[in-house]
């Protein structure tokens, strides 16, 4: 019998947490998080992490598994997710993956990371280059062209050059090899459902969420995270909710604008998430969150 992974996704504030809990409780399932910020201990309010009471309702995996300074990327996520899914299934319990972090979510349907290991010395050399120099070296190593690489994006150019230098291969060769890789969860049936709400309703929920976060102590949480090294993790420090509070504490954002700025940036994220779900995920059901029924979800 084919093993099954159930995946529930949707944009920020759509209502995934409660529906996931209800479905898991009804089916004896365990939840595997697919949220790029829930990995980190201490990042609670700003990420809308499930509360202790919610975590106690159903066993959860891949939440609070990293310190702030510990790196997490999609390759590390895949290894942890594979182990969690195999463990849950071995105990005869259904698997429910939930979250809205697109690149991590895609790991359940397609290859997302190659096996090119970049030595520390190569990484250090490349990251000391400015964009123009890195791009010139990358073009020299790829006489056939750079394909669809975003050459205006320093991070993408740096990563591409690192991989070419570490592997001794062109981007075209690496892309072809990557396309031949099996997805991380080959052999599993993956059932995907996306929750959605009308834009006006979602905007109202975002406003309510931001107000609740701030009332619960988001600013104090951020102050504590700064003492633990939040700024040593640029991805975490730039997360919506945290970056705005940092800007306020540093005098770059008036306190009176804090809630509105977080809400505005969250709405912009939701717009990007919707586009990503539509263009990057395989065909799937889109369910109105307002009347989603755990009994008929999958």
Over residues 257-266, the mean pLDDT reads 98
Query: Going by C-beta distance under 8 Å and a sequence separation of 6 or more, which residues neighbour residue 213?
Result: 45, 46, 48, 241, 262
pLDDT per residue as tens digits for the range 21-38: 999 999 999 999 999 999
3 state DSSP class of 4:
strand
Per residue in 71-122, pLDDT tens? 888 889 999 999 999 999 999 999 999 999 998 999 999 988 777 889 999 9
Beta bridge partners of 9: 194
Please report the pLDDT score of residue 2 as a whole number. Answer: 67
Neighbours of 285 (CB within 10 A): 11
User: Average pLDDT, stretch 134-153?
Assistant: 93
Which contacts qualify for 161-164: CB closer than 8 Å, 24 or more apart?
161/126, 161/129, 161/134, 161/137, 162/118, 162/122, 162/123, 162/126, 163/114, 163/116, 163/118, 164/138
The average confidence (pLDDT) of the chain is 94
- Assess whether pLDDT exceeds 60 at residue 4: yes
In the chain, the domains with their CATH numbers are: 3-111+183-296 (3.40.50.300), 120-179 (1.10.20)
Tell me how long the chain is: 298
Query: If we measure between CA atoms, which residue out of 166, 114, 170 comes closest to residue 145?
Result: 170
Per-residue pLDDT tens digits for 269-278? 999 999 999 9
How far is 36 from 54, CA to CA, in rounded Å? 19
75-114 burial, b at 16+ Cβ within 10 Å, e below that, comes to eebbebbeebbeebbeeeebbbbbbbbbebbbbbbebbbe
Report the pLDDT averaged over residues 192-209: 96
* Confidence check: pLDDT of 13 > 70: yes
pLDDT at 71: 80
Q: In the predicted model, is pLDDT for residue 250 greater than 60?
A: yes
Q: Work out the pLDDT band at 180, boundaries 50, 70, 90.
A: confident
Token pair recorded at residue 213: 């976060």
């Amino acid at each position: 019998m084919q093993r099954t992974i159930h995946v529930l996704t949707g944009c920020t504030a759509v209502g995934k947490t409660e529906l996931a809990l209800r479905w898991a409780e009804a089916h004896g399932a365990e939840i595997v998080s697919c949220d790029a910020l829930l990995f980190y201990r201490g990042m609670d309010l700003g990420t809308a992490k499930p509360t202790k009471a919610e975590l106690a309702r159903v066993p959860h995996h891949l939440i609070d598994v990293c310190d702030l300074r510990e790196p997490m990327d999609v390759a590390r996520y895949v290894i942890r997710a594979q182990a969690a899914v195999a463990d849950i299934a071995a105990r005869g319990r259904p698997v429910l993956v939930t979250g809205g972090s697109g690149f991590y979510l895609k790991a359940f349907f397609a290859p997302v990371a190659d096996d090119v290991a970049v030595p520390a010395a190569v990484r250090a050399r490349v990251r000391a280059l400015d964009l123009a120099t890195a791009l010139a070296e990358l073009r020299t190593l790829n006489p056939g062209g750079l394909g669809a690489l975003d050459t205006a994006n320093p991070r993408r150019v740096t990563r591409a050059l690192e991989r070419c230098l570490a592997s001794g291969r062109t981007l075209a060769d690496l892309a072809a090899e990557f396309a031949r890789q099996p997805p991380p969860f080959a052999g599993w049936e993956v059932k995907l459902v996306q929750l959605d709400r009308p834009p006006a309703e979602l905007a109202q929920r975002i406003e309510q969420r931001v107000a609740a976060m701030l009332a619960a102590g988001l600013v104090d949480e951020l102050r504590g995270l700064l003492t633990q090294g939040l700024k040593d993790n640029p991805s975490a420090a730039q997360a919506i909710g945290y970056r705005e509070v940092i800007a306020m504490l540093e005098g770059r954002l008036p306190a009176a604008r804090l809630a509105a700025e977080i809400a505005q940036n969250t709405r912009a994220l939701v717009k990007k998430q919707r586009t990503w779900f539509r263009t990057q995920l395989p065909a799937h059901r889109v369910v109105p969150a307002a009347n989603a029924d755990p009994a008929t979800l999958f």
